[in-house]
Structure 1
Amino acid sequence: MAITERIEDYLETVLEIELEGGVPSVTELASRLGVRKATVVVAVRKMVELGLLDHQRYGKIELTRDGREKALETYRRHQHMTFLFSQLLGLDDSVAEEMACAAEHSLDPASERRLAAFVDFCCRSRTEKKEWIVAMDRFVSDPEQLSIPLTMLLPRQEAKVLRLTTTGKPRRLGLTEKGLVPGQTVKRTDDGRGRDVQISLDGKEETLSNLDALSIWVLPVEENVG
């Protein structure tokens, strides 16, 4: 039987109760996971069969060696995700917790390692008071301006290309050959009513399909007043 997301939740909850100094039980698991006791009994029985839990009838629930290893893996992923959303991105604790729960089960080992490395790198940079992390914290906590697809740029408005999101090599190459690369300034020249998007780029006029324009993300240039 495969270890499902729900089983991972059970194992992680058993571990958390232990870390808090409590005694894992059917009643406590039902309360924390928001399910009926009968549901917990069935789940615990399955995990005992898988060799992940030990459970004496009406007694406490204990993690086996394999169960503890799996619980620690899930707990580690959850803590990394929670820290990323709450401490690095500054989201409310309840929102960060909900997002961490949704993300932790979908990570493969390679993805987890990369995200964990990013979190650790940010922590080290904060400890060392690196300028870039200070700037990132300031920008993320109060973003002054966010990027938009080129299709949302207003007529006659200028913007700087921030990134290309197209995944197809031929399309990406075609856009970069036109000069649509990060840092490039563009200006929309059509009235925004047609199916295509017209821009001025280095003094040249270019016509883009809506599909291509959607994959070009730009930062609108603020107009100087006065």
Structure 2
Amino acid sequence: MKLIKSAPTVLDAVPESVQKKAGELAESGETYLEAIYVIKERRENGLVRAVDVANELGLSRPSVSRGLSLLKERGYISVELAGDIEFTKEGRALAEKIFKRHQYLTVFFKHIANVPSDIAESDACRVEHVISEHTMNGIIEYLKKNDIV
């Protein structure tokens, strides 16, 4: 097998399972926050309910209700009497950060790796939850330095 320049060899490579970063929200929680953010931004009135999140993600309402309960317990959202979901200050900041990662990764995959838009979007959605802050910052810096974003 031909070696790839600067890549780890089989002697150097360290396969590892993907795990949640210490102290951070699980992928599903990040996905819910991002979905809430996207739905709010799309709508003039900014109203989002659990059913909207379920429809957006193609999940059951009971699953989404459980996920939203966990976000509420962690202080990222509140649910009003009418069922409207509101971000806390911390929750909105985290949702915006997650969505920005998604945007930057999509641009990186499309414009640097020449991946078709639909695949870039889909892959960005998965990678955004596991990429390290260090690597993400490197990608953002690269995109900005090269006037891509």
Q: TM-score, normalised by structure 2?
A: 0.76
Q: Distance in 2 between matches of 1:23 and 1:114?
A: 35
2:40–2:48 Cα contact (<8 Å) kept: yes
Q: Distance in 2 between matches of 1:74 and 1:44?
A: 17
Match of 1:123, SS state, is coil
Number of aligned residues = 125
Tell me the CA shift for residue 57 of structure 1. Answer: 4.4
Name the structure 2 match of 1:16.
38
Does residue 87 of structure 1 match 2:111? yes
In the alignment, structure 2 segments of 5+ residues that lack a partner are 1-22
2:80–2:86 Cα contact (<8 Å) kept: no
Q: How is 1:134-173 mapped onto 2 (pairs within 5 angstroms)?
A: none
Tell me the CA shift for residue 44 of structure 1. Answer: 0.7
What are the superposed Cα offsets for residues 96-148 of structure 1, whole Å, 9 maximum, x if unpaired?
01110121112222111101011112226x9xxxxxxxxxxxxxxxxxxxxxx
Match of 1:14, SS state, is helix
Tell me the CA shift for residue 73 of structure 1. Answer: 1.2
Does residue 70 of structure 1 match 2:104? no
Does residue 109 of structure 1 match 2:140? no
Answer 1 or 2: which has greater strand percent: 1
Tell me the CA shift for residue 43 of structure 1. Answer: 0.7
Q: Spell out structure 1 runs of 4+ moving beyond 4 A.
A: none
Name the structure 1 match of 2:12.
none
Q: Distance in 2 between matches of 1:53 and 1:90?
A: 37
Tell me the CA shift for residue 2 of structure 1. Answer: 4.8
Does residue 6 of structure 1 match 2:28? yes
Equivalent AA in structure 1 for residue 39 of structure 2: I
Match of 1:24, SS state, is coil
Q: Distance in 2 between matches of 1:61 and 1:54?
A: 6
Match of 1:62, SS state, is strand
Name the structure 1 match of 2:58.
34
Match of 2:86, SS state, is strand
Tell me the CA shift for residue 58 of structure 1. Answer: 4.4
Match of 1:55 among 66, 79, 87: 79
What is the aligned-residue RMSD (CA, Å)?
1.8
Q: Distance in 1 between matches of 2:56 and 2:146?
A: 32
Q: Identity over the aligned pairs, expressed in percent?
A: 25
Equivalent AA in structure 2 for residue 109 of structure 1: E
Tell me the CA shift for residue 25 of structure 1. Answer: 1.2
